[in-house]
Structure 1
């Protein structure tokens, strides 16, 4: 929701029937951005799906479906997915979902996510993601790694491949594709959408403190449900994978999104998820 002066209200984005969509809208001030890099609006992925990108689905206590996005990331156990921390724990929902599923290459599978998906075995969020605090105070830590169970003795990475995780600092002015499954209007969450542009790291004078260090992509209308979706550089069509530099964290509600990159300390968190 827009506020006078170009800031944004810290309220959840609109949901659609039977869904709960934890994409955050927080206070973002784009001061000093006189010529932000151009980016396309969210479009359908031309190949339909990406093997290493998928959808997170869970059933809430009131019987609705919770939706987020995520991507397989290379790890020793072959069973790790990267997403946003607010997808699994938030100030409003401090307890993680009781049963959480990841569906790689999701495409119109809302009724079959348990048979098509890989069940999440454990959640790994950074210590700084303290949901007893205000969300704007912990946005620097809005990333998470999920460890999946095997299916038929195989890991998700064996079957679908994986993306390479990159850690801060993120190089600017590199081509990036941001992918996810937006489910709030005008989208239905059933198909993969993406925006393309160049990375722009938010620095002092460009944003308020909660979003400093985040990656900005203007002109991208990915909506709720795309939370946790990957920001991929160096995408390789053959392997359907790339370098994962961030996950979708917040949106302005008027066509700007911010991705949260992985700080150096995220290496230990990924190692823990990859050893689980």
Structure 2
């Protein structure tokens, strides 16, 4: 039985000296779908929780002002943690989990992304423009994960990992959440999109169940920073970038698909391999290709019992939330979102990660997605 918890965001959004108001701030959602201000959770029917991130125009402005180009450069890769136990200390690193599993496969901390090439294929498809990074604040530090735009009627929806939107250790949503599609080498040419409302399954926030480690976030209209000089100092003004899906397109959503089919995984890996090597910079999208398989082992600490793995992907921290895409069309640079990178695995016990896993996108996932598609933000 899923547990219903009321959680709230307690942090204060910092401000930076940035000029100009954003163009066309998002309008309020219909009353039936409007989140409670301050990040309080609304438990909707069918096991869906929603958390307000920046629902008002004022909230949006504060978050946008916080993310100056300098702060984007300061952000670090984010690695997930498990939910604290009231009776025992919970491990927060995959290496500790791996030790606890002893002879079972070692789980290395989170977020994955792709290899530099396409595994099992000589074809190298173009990078989908709807893949990007999410940035957020937790405590006094800035972090990032991977994510992608997914289709919705309001053209405003992002898919990522649940742990890239909600902190299990602190029992609250992260702060100052934004999405930058087509991110590369520190550039945000396609715009910056401030998160409006976070949607996830109640079992992730309430129980820390990584079988539900997915989230869908509605976003406001985007903006780009335009530099100018005033008083001998470089300042920035915001310029409207429009709706997310109009700008970069979006993957379609798919659920309840069988395993044993080819899938591309995209993301921004950056962390070290178990052997200490760092093959990725996290500055450009990487990808890998594989055939999806059923979960090979359970991971009790993470409450992982079901799911899908993609073998052969040597992904490291930085790409949690990156999309798994089936039916990928390299000419149109789109396809069907059917998973997100949640955890990485070291199956052979060697010095490199050799598989990634995603929660299985089933009817429960579809319910969360459908709730999120009803949220208008502009």
Q: Number of aligned pairs?
A: 242
Kept in 2, the 8 Å contact 1:103–1:117? The answer is yes
**Could you tell me which residue of structure 2 aligns to residue 19 of structure 1?**
76
- CA-CA distance at 1:19 after TM superposition: 1.4
In structure 2, the residue matched to 1:150 is 221
Q: Where do 5+ consecutive residues of structure 2 fail to align?
A: 1-73, 82-93, 106-113, 119-123, 223-239, 273-277, 347-352
What is the CA-CA distance between 1:148 and the residue it aligns to? 0.7
1:267 aligns with 2:356: no
**Residue 113 of structure 1, CA deviation:** 5.1
1:78 to 155, 159, 162: 155
Q: How does 1:201-220 map to 2 (within 5 A)?
A: 201-202=294-295, 206-208=297-299, 210-220=303-313
Asked whether 1:101 is paired with 2:174, we answer no
Decide which moves more: 145-154 or 176-185: 145-154
Matching of residue 258 in structure 1 with residue 357 in structure 2: yes
In structure 1, runs of 5+ residues without a counterpart are 1-16, 31-40
CA deviation after TM superposition for structure 1 residue 105, in Å: 1.1
Any idea what SS the aligned residue of 2:163 has?
Answer: helix
Q: Over aligned residue pairs, what C-alpha RMSD do you find?
A: 2.8
1:20 and 1:95 mapped to 2: Cα distance? 19
Q: Indicate yes or no: 2:261 matched with 1:184.
A: no
- Is 1:121–2:196 an aligned residue pair? yes
8 Å Cα contact 1:176-1:232 kept in structure 2: yes
Distance 1:242 1:161 in 2: 11
Superposition deviation, residue 207 in structure 1: 3.7
> Does the 8 Å CA contact 2:133/2:180 hold for their aligned counterparts?
yes
1: CA distance, partners of 2:137 / 2:374: 27
How far did 1:244 drift? 0.9
Q: Matches of 2:177 and 2:139 in 1, distance apart?
A: 13
Does structure 2 retain, via aligned residues, the 8 Å contact 1:48–1:191? no
**TM-score by structure 2 length?**
0.58
SS at match of 1:178: strand
In 1: Cα distance, 2:358 partner to 2:367 partner: 20
Cα distance between partner residues in 2 of 1:208 and 1:182:
22
> What's the CA shift for 1:234?
1.0
CA offset digits 1:130-151 (Å, max 9, x no partner): 35x4x4xx11111110001013
The whole-number CA distance in structure 2 between the counterparts of 1:60 and 1:115 is 25
- The answer to whether the Cα contact below 8 Å between 2:291 and 2:311 also exists between their aligned partners in 1 is no
Residue 272 of structure 1: how far off its partner (Å):
2.0
Q: Which residue of 1 is the match for residue 169 of structure 2?
A: 92
| Structure 2 match to 1:227 | 320
Q: 1:44 to 1:181 in 2, by over 3 A?
A: farther
- Which of the two has higher C-alpha Rg? 2
Deviations 1:109-136 (A, max 9, x none): 2xx55993111111111111135x4x4x
Answer yes or no: is the 8 Å Cα contact 2:129–2:182 preserved in 1: yes
Checking the alignment, whether the CA contact within 8 Å between 2:126 and 2:331 is kept in structure 1 is no
Matched ranges for 1:125-144 at <5 A: 125-131=200-206, 133=207, 135=208, 138-144=209-215
Within the alignment, does 1:67 sit opposite 2:144 as a pair? yes
